[in-house]
């Protein structure tokens, strides 16, 4: 299977696991070794932080992860190669985080902070895809940053076709 990095995984209605029910995951990495992504539609309350945080998944992370939609931030990043993970979506670093304090708040500020992540071992995601648990949708910055997080799953989940009765 070719890499699905840069795609949204959209939980289908049959997926009832509490960690992923009605979730949208942006895959950041996907290979034979496994997959890594962030649940992008679950806001959580974190005391003492001046910005909103999202629960990125059931696996604990050592800090916060940042996604942003500012190409200029990526170009001036301290990282040797800025990481565009999907069209209009960049993985942020410490230099991007420092820009939050300098920038005026408002709709022009496009970012999300995440605590935790979603991870799959070798073949695990492929098995879940084969079982029909996930839909794959191309990710974009417009979907991630412009659609309210609470509406994203409803917007992306494919319609369910009822099973015909065999009576």
3-state secondary structure 120-153: ECCCHHHHHHHCCCEEEEECCHHHHHHCCHHHHH
What one-character DSSP code corresponds to residue 13? T
Helix or strand run (H / E) with residue 146: helix 141-146
- pLDDT tens, position by position, 143-167: 999 999 999 999 999 887 666 667 6
152 — alpha (psi -120 to 50), left (phi > 0) or beta? Answer: alpha
The ranges assigned to domains in the chain are 7-156
Average pLDDT taken over every residue of the chain: 89
The answer to whether residues 113 and 52 touch, using CB atoms and an 8 Å cutoff, is yes
CATH number for region 7-156: 3.40.1740.10
Residue 22 pLDDT level (bands cut at 50, 70, 90): very high
Q: What is the pLDDT of residue 94?
A: 80
Beta bridge partners of 65: 114
pTM score of the predicted model: 0.89
């Amino acid at each position: 299977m070719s890499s699905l990095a840069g795609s949204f995984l959209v939980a289908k209605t049959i997926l009832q696991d509490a960690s992923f029910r009605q979730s949208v995951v942006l895959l950041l990495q996907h290979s034979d070794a496994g997959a890594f992504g962030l649940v992008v539609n679950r806001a959580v309350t974190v005391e003492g932080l001046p910005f909103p945080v999202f629960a990125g998944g059931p696996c604990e992370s050592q800090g916060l992860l940042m996604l942003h939609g500012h190409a200029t931030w990526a170009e001036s990043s301290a990282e040797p190669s800025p990481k565009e993970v999907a069209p209009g979506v960049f993985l942020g670093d410490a230099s991007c985080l420092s820009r939050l304090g300098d920038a005026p708040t408002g709709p022009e500020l496009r970012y999300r902070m995440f605590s935790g992540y979603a991870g799959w071992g070798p073949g695990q995601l492929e098995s879940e895809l084969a079982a029909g648990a996930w839909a794959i949708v191309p990710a974009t910055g417009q979907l991630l940053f412009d659609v309210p997080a609470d509406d994203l799953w409803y917007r992306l989940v494919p319609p369910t076709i009822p099973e015909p009765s065999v009576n």
